[in-house]
Structures are given as C-alpha cells and as structure tokens.
Structure 1
Amino acid sequence: MPNSPFPRCGSVFSSIAMASMLAGCATLPSSGPTERQIRRGAEASSGLIKFAIVPLDAATVDRLRREETTRRTSVATLAQLAQDARTDTIGPGDVLTISIYEVGVALFGGSVTRVAGEGFDPSARSETFPTMVVDREGTIRLPYIGRLGVAGLTPFEVQRLIEQGLKGKSQSPQALVSIRTNIANTVYVSGDVRRPGRLELSLGRERLLDAIAASGGSVGTSEDTLIRFSRNGRIVEQRLGFIRSGTPDDLFLIPGDRVELIRRPRTFDVFGATAKVSQVNFETGEVSLAEALARVGGPNDVQADPAAVFLFRYDGIPDAPDAGPPQVYQLNMLKPESYFVAQRFAMRDRDVIYIANAAANQPAKLVNIINQLFSPLVTARAVTR
C-alpha cells in the first residue's frame, strides 16, 4: 500500500515527541522535586523560608540528642508547680454538720442524750444543726454565739471556737463538727475523660494520676493525650504518657487544681516517592526515623531516590510565633551506616518526611509517553500488512 497514510502520521507523531523532548522533562507529572531541585531551592531560599540541607550522620544525631536534652530541661514541666497545702480546711460553700452537747441547764432544748453504760441521763442534752452553709465571707452564724469566721480552719479548730463561744453560757459544752458537703477541698477534672467532674480530696493526699483514674481514665491512649494543668493562675501542658506514677510530675493535688485532658495525637507526614502519601500517628512514646520509614513502606523501588530522603522540621513548635528556623536533614539510604543513624534519630510531632524522586524517572516517563503515542501506529501497520 504505497499510499498508506500511516507513514505520514508517524512522522507527525515523531515531530510531536521530539517537541516534547525539547520542552524538557520538568513539565511531566511528578510526586515532588528531585534532590537537585531541593538543593536549588535551598540555595535560592531567603527571608522566613530560608533553609539549609544538613547531612544526617552520626555526628549530627549526637548533636541533636544533646540539643534535645537541653530543650527538655528548659521546657516547663508539672513538677515546677509542686506545692504543699492542707486538704482538711473549711472554705466558702462547704456544708457543715454541727452538734452541741450540754450537761445540766441547757441552752438548746434538744433530745436527751444516752450515757454509755449508765442508761438515760435527763440532765444531758444535744442539738444538731445538719445544714450549716459557710457563706462567701467564710463565716457561719450560731445561736448564742453569733458570727464565726471558719474559712481556713479545720473542723477540730471550729469545735474549739464553738466551745469557747458557749463558755459561761452553758455547762460543760462540747461540739462536734464535720464537713457534710466538701466544696473547698476539691479539684476539677474535665476534657477527654470518661467521668468528668469534681473530685473531693482526702487526708490520704491524692496525686494527679489518682484523680485521672478516679475519673475513669482518659478516652484516648496516654500517648495521644495532653494534660493541661492549672494551679494558682499558672498553666502547664505535658503529655500524659510521659508522666510516671510517684514521680515529681505526678503532683500531689491541692484544693482548686484544675486538670483538663485533651486528645491531641502526635503525627508525622510522608510525601514523595512512597507507596502512599499519608499522615501517621506515633501511637508509642518515641518513634525513630527508621521506624517511621518502615511504617509507610520505605522508598518506592520504581520511583524513589534512596540517597535523597529528607526530613523537614522546625526547631520549635510549628504553630508558635517563635517556631525557630526550618531545618532539612538528608538521609542517604545507600550507605549501610545510615540505617544505624536512622535508628537513633528521634521523630518529633509535625515532622515531614519527603522521599525524593529519582532523576532518571523523568526521561523514563517521557519514553513511556512516546511509546503510548507510537504503539497504535505500530499496531495499525501490523494489521494492514
């Protein structure tokens, strides 16, 4: 078939393919930049996004571990809020039960009191005031005594005050005082706990983890839970998973403390030439770079450049105004020692891992496009012969 149109079409498509090659490979689809493009970006970076690429080797990991130790010592912890205070004193809002016992001529016409082992004694009388609320000024009012300031006192100390107030008015008065409803000696547990509410403190001295356990525990895992602890106007946040029972961070609670549990998982993001772009939860206390790469399947054999695994990180907290300068660390996985380095490199919340595309991918993609363009022509020729 001398007049077949296919040779002419083939020349047309050849011209298109040549034009595509001349236009360069940069316009082809890609999951991200190559190592060379990232390095060019570092050289051209300026202003707030200026960054440098730091090779991730043993010396770099040692330096970062020392800096992390220093950073942790400078960050406020719950132990810095340690304070001792009594948990048996009376305060505004408390409901007291007060009983007064008298012998002989009584001021209060109450019930006859039984004396143990001696039957009834008609000369002994008692009177109970079951609901005595401490007002906002921290006082109560009793008959024949008047107003008493009880805020900051223990029930035993209030007993002595009542007995002194009745001296000379009653014969051998004795008082018993107990806290029926405790408002002053309480802490508040809220947020992502199973039973939020107010918790009464006892003389047994409850700790922070005791209060959380009494509230049913956190809804999420301890590693994904942040404690926001408020005491006397100061607020400190710390991960629940980092607090061990009986340590200084497991504070003894004092009246007025507020504990809020917030579910805030720590995550890292993975982009580039990997099996799947994803956001991954830490789920455990610490995660190394080696573990992070293993969780996402590592570099893709077809697309990735294993010598160009990058980790993007801010020195501080990414959302804070003083987040610190951005840092980019490069791991060369073609070197055997890099796997030891990756085991010692600790991930941080909000870290970004990027696995660069191999530079050879772009020409390969172009060849695939050309093959797709010419394969119909080759098939048509085979059919028409």
Structure 2
Amino acid sequence: MISSPSPRLRLTGAMATLAILLSGCATLPSSGPTGRQVLNGAKDPDAGLAFQVVELDGAAFQKLQQVQPAGRATGQLAALAREGRVDRIAPGDVLQVSIYEVGMTLFSSGRTAGPAGSVEPDTAHAQAINAVTVASDGTIRLPYVGRLLVAGSSPYDVQRMIEQALQGKSQSPQAMVTVVNSPGNSVYMLGDVVRTGRIPLTPARERLLDAIATSGGSRVSGADTVVRLTRGGERAEMRLGDVRPGSSDDLTLLPGDRIELINEPRSYSAFGATPKVSQVPFGEPNLSLAEALARIGGPNDAQADPKAVFLFRYDAAAIAAGERPVIYRLNLMKPESYIIAQSFPMHDKDLIYIANSASNPVTKFVAILNQLFAPLLTAKVLTDNNN
C-alpha cells in the first residue's frame, strides 16, 4: 500500500511550486517600470542618462505660485529687434512726381492768358509726370533733370534733388514726390494665414501683430500656431498666443521681414497603466496636469499604482545648459496632490507615465493559471457528478 506524502514533503512541494510561480511572474510582459524602478534609476550612479525625480508635494506647490504662468514666455522674437526706417526708396518702387513752376514753364505749353488777353507771368503751373519706376541700379530719369540716384533716399530727399536740378532752367521750381508702390518697404506674410502676400509698411510703423491682423489672422488657434520671423538672415520663432500686444516680442517691422505662421498643435503622450496608450492634443491655451489625467481616463484601477504617476519633461534649453532631465512624481493617494495637479501646467510634448502596481505581475500570473486549469477543474467536477 502506497502511503501519502508526509506534511513536511507537502510543505516543501508547496514552497517549490510558489518559487516557480514567482519566477514566472518576473518573465511576464509589462507596460513599463514600476515606481520603485523609476526612483532607483534616478539614484543609479552608472546610469547612461542621469535624471532627477522631483516630488510634487506642498513645497513644490509653493514654488508654483511664484513662477510665471504657462503660456507667457517672452524673449524669443525680441532678440531680432533692430532700428530701421520704412521711408527709403528702393529699386522697383513706383514714384509719382509732380513739378510746380511759376511763369514761363518747362513742363507746360506756355504762359497762361489772363483777362482780356493779358498774360499772367507769375501764375503757378503744376505738371504731373507719369509714374516713374526706380531702376535696378537705383536711379530714375526725368525730363530736363536727367538721371538721379534715388535708392536709399527719402521722398523729401528726391524732391530736393529735382528742385536743385531745375535751378536756372525754371522759375521757382518745386517738386512733390509720392511713393505709389513700394515693394522694397514691405513685409511678406506666409503659411497658415487667411491672406498670404505682401504688406506695405507705412510711417505709422506697423508691428508684428498688426501685420498678422491685416492678413486676417491665423487659420487655427493662436496657441497652436508658431510665428516664425526671418530678418536679415536671422530667424526666431515662438507661439503666437504667447506674443502680447505692444511687448518686446511684438516687433516693429522692417522692410524685407518674412513672417510665417505654422500650425503646430501642442500635445502630450500617455503610457503605462492607463486605459489606452495615446497622444492627446491640448485643445485649449492652457492645460493642467489634473485635466490631462482626466482626459486619458486616469490610472487603471486594475493595474496602476496611484502613488507612482510620473510626468517626463524634456527641456532642450535646460539640458544644453548642463541641467539633468526632470521627472515629476505625483502621489494620488494624498489629497493635496489633486490641488497641486490643478496648478501644475502641462508643456508641449510632455509624457505622462502611470506605473504598474508591484502586485500586478502576480495578479496577472494567477489569472493565467486560472485560464489554464479552470477547464480541467470543470471537467473533473462534471466527471465526479456523473459518477
């Protein structure tokens, strides 16, 4: 007769089985590291990429109240500020020239007859010359005046040139020069704007936002539009929604500036123990961490560790300055964390990672065992009932 195993043997067998189960848990697929693994990675001196973990707690909340709100960055476009004039004549400009004379004139048919056939020698006469286009070498040519180099001069300067050239040829000559069309004193609007094209500048000194408004504005939200300004071979850009009217970034425009509006919607990514891995657009000018978590459905109750909600932020400028990348940690088991999340601003291309619970691999492995052995147990129950 075969004796049943002793209690000690059964205990040993159970421990061996448990060890096998636990080793199997370690090999199960996972959506990412646990919260402890992220924290340990920040302390690893041999890590290929060093990073720091910042706790979003009460102290962090106090600092948030002291920093500038998101969406108010300044200085990117201001770096291109320059002094300049918009009244200089350039090749391609079209000028309207009018010349006024007294008595016998060069530009009229003769003296003007007064009452009873008398002659009015001192009567002033005006003669408008057809529109004149400034040649590629910066010159114009006028009757009795000859060729004048006008590029780089103001209309007033050209008036003086004409009057001096007519001295001795006409009696008290005076000239009036008006710029009818000036491609040289214009800016160019491109990209996702309602009306693209050339915008002439005036002595009123238009600013960046004036030109954008004249063109009908951006086709999309200003918060999702990047304005790129090219000036003299240099280029700078920033979010249109961040440019405040009259600020240093609302530049006074100069001839030849090129303004391009680019549609670049802001978004963030969600990974880990969430209902779905996704990329989510902001959809509004400012978005908080609390709102971002709500949009992705928050932590998954069945697998997430609510104490390990991480926000990965890559700041290229800070890293170039020698700072380490930052990972913010939010513990949703603390009530104050929800207040902090309401005040914490999201940035473009932020990444939210919700870590798996440490017990999730065990739960997952038990579920697999249940799927494997449940049919056998059911068959045994049915067999025993039929006997």
Check whether TM > 0.5.
yes
Q: Offset of 1:127 from its aligned partner?
A: 4.3
Where does residue 201 of structure 1 map in the other structure?
Answer: 201
Partner of 1:346: 345
Instruction: Give the corresponding residue for 2:236.
Output: 236
Moved more, 250-259 or 306-315: 250-259
Q: How far 1:282 moved relative to its partner?
A: 2.4
Structure 2: which 5+ runs fail to align?
1-13
Provide the residue aligned with 2:327 in structure 1.
328
**Equivalent residue letter for 2:144:** Y
1:309 is matched with which residue? 309
Shift in Å at residue 266 of structure 1?
2.1
Distance 1:20 1:144 in 2: 107
Q: 1:187 to 1:381 in 2, by over 3 A?
A: same
Q: Distance in 2 between matches of 1:269 and 1:111?
A: 82
Indicate the larger mover: 93-102 or 128-137.
128-137
Counterpart position of 2:283: 283
Task: Answer with 150-159 or 301-310: which moved more.
Answer: 150-159
8 Å Cα contact 2:75-2:249 kept in structure 1? no
Between the aligned partners of 1:21 and 1:114, the Cα distance in structure 2 is 120
Kept after mapping to 2: 8 A contact 1:113/1:126: no
Per the TM alignment, residue 62 of structure 1 is displaced from its structure 2 partner at its CA by: 4.1
Matched, 1:150 2:155: no
The answer to whether 1:28 aligns with 2:43 is no
Change (3 A) 1:197 1:36: same
Query: Partner of 1:49: helix, strand, or coil?
Result: coil
Q: Decide whether aligned partners of structure 1 residues 172 and 352 sit closer, same or farther in structure 2, where only a CA change above 3 A counts.
A: same
Confirm or deny: 8 A CA contact 1:113 1:124 kept in the other structure.
Answer: no
Partner of 2:296: 296
Change (3 A) 1:36 1:80: closer
Cα shift at 1:371 = 0.9
For structure 1, the 5+ residue unaligned runs are 1-13
- Measured in 2, the distance between the counterparts of 1:84 and 1:39 equals 52
In 2, the alpha carbon distance for the partners of 1:84 and 1:111 equals 48
- TM-score with structure 2 setting the length: 0.82
**How high is the sequence identity, in percent, across the aligned residues?**
54
Are 1:191 and 2:191 counterparts? Answer: yes
Provide closer, same or farther for how the CA distance between residues 55 and 364 of structure 1 changes in structure 2, counting only shifts above 3 A.
Answer: same
RMSD over equivalenced CA pairs, Å: 3.3
Cα 1:114–1:312 change in 2 (3 A) is farther
Judge conservation of contact 1:308–1:332 (CA < 8 Å) in 2: yes
Shift of 1:321: 5.7
1:130 aligns with 2:130: yes
Q: Which residue identity is paired with 1:363?
A: V
Deviation at 1:285, TM superposition (A): 3.0
Alpha-carbon separation, structure 1, partners of 2:300 and 2:188:
50
Q: How much has 1:187 moved relative to structure 2?
A: 0.9
Once the two structures are superposed, residues 162-189 of structure 1 have per-residue CA deviations (whole angstroms, 9 ceiling, x without a partner) of 1221111122323232112211221111
Instruction: Give how far 1:316 is off.
Output: 3.1
